[in-house]
Amino acid sequence: MALYDILHDTTYRYESAVSLSQQIAHLRPRECVGQHTLAHRLEIVPTPAQCSERSDFFGNPVTAFALHAPHSQLVVRARSRIRVNAPAWPDPALSPAWEAARDHLRDGLSGHAPLQADARDAGQYRFASPFVPLGDEAVTYADYALQCFTPGRPLLEALLALSAQIHADFRFDPAATSVATPVAEVFAARRGVCQDFSHLTIACLRALGLAARYVSGYLLTEPPPGQPRLIGADASHAWVALWSPGLGWIDIDPTNAMQPGVGHITLAWGRDYGDVCPLRGVILGGGGHAVDVAVTVMPVEDEAPGGADAPD
């Protein structure tokens, strides 16, 4: 078990005054197996005229807020204290053949066999989504994935192999892509960041008829030996979850070629990044803008008084 204080700061600076702003934030970590939010607070400056909380279509906590007074800067600070237990992933060799997972979803969606409740939910993650289009490129993604998804291979063995293959074939390069870079360009350039590698993995899995979803969150990073952990030096992270009959959702981090452990903190999940981006909205005015994001994931020794305020 591990305990973390997470500080996620986002600052927008506008060239001219914004007269109206309506925003949606995915900044409260969701409750899920092995993870529990002990404390959470969202600080917004200027103070919003309206603010409400709800769950989105995928069950993620969402905060919606609106600012009606002119402002030239928006600061959103999320503080969370999270308890994470190490996941117990199943033996990959004991997972069903990957074709069985594909056919189970295919037959059920065709009405040939009833699906269990979790399989019905998983079915929506088989299809193209805004950040993971499956047009002519789907054949290319499928061919790439089939190097690992050989006939009869256990599903999770193939998933681990695909993650290792992407890790080996693609270079982590923050300067190579932006939020809007298409998966096809990432595949051609062979470089990108965690968001890109997650979208590519999802494209490969969906091209084979499997159900895969995008997971956003945080990753504990270790500072170089002898150096202190720096406030604001961490970053948001993204990985993938694949659905398996009888096993449910199994996570994989293709950026690091590993299954997420106690150092991965889940924020939200959806079809792709567009469903779970930390902050998005519409504004009236503002002109151009600059945005600064700083994330700190700080291990906590015990649950001392102070809760999620510890990152101060």
CA–CA separation, 158 vs 262, rounded Å? 23
pLDDT of amino acid 307? 45
Per the listing, tokens 């600064």 go with 292
pLDDT at 305 over 70: no
Comparing 109 with 107, which gets the higher pLDDT? 107
Structure tokens, 45: 């400056």
Per-residue model confidence (pLDDT) at position 106: 78
Q: Of 100-109, 170-179, 278-287, which gets the smallest average pLDDT?
A: 100-109
Q: What is the pLDDT of residue 77?
A: 97
Q: What is the mean pLDDT of residues 195-199?
A: 96
**Statement: residue 219 has pLDDT above 50:** yes
End-to-end CA distance of the chain: give it in Å, rounded. Answer: 23
Q: What digits encode the pLDDT tens for the residues 20-56?
A: 999 999 999 999 999 999 999 999 999 999 999 999 9
Mean pLDDT of the chain: 90
Q: What is the pLDDT of residues 130-156, one digit of tens each?
A: 999 999 999 999 999 999 999 999 999
Question: Can you give the pTM of this predicted structure?
Answer: 0.91
**pLDDT (mean) for 268-297:** 94
- What does the pLDDT average to over 158-180? 95
What is the spatial distance between Cα 157 and Cα 93, in angstroms, rounded to a whole number? 6
CA distance 48 to 251: 36
Spatial distance between the Cα atoms of 43 and 5, rounded to a whole number of angstroms: 15
Per the document, the length of the chain is 312
Q: Which domains does the chain have, with CATH numbers?
A: 2-85+277-306 (2.60.40.2250), 92-260 (3.10.620.30)
Question: Which candidate, 54, 85, 57, 40, places its Cα nearest to that of 265?
Answer: 85
Whole-angstrom distance, CA of residue 90 vs CA of residue 97: 14
> Angle CA(275)–CA(29)–CA(247) in degrees, nearest 5?
75
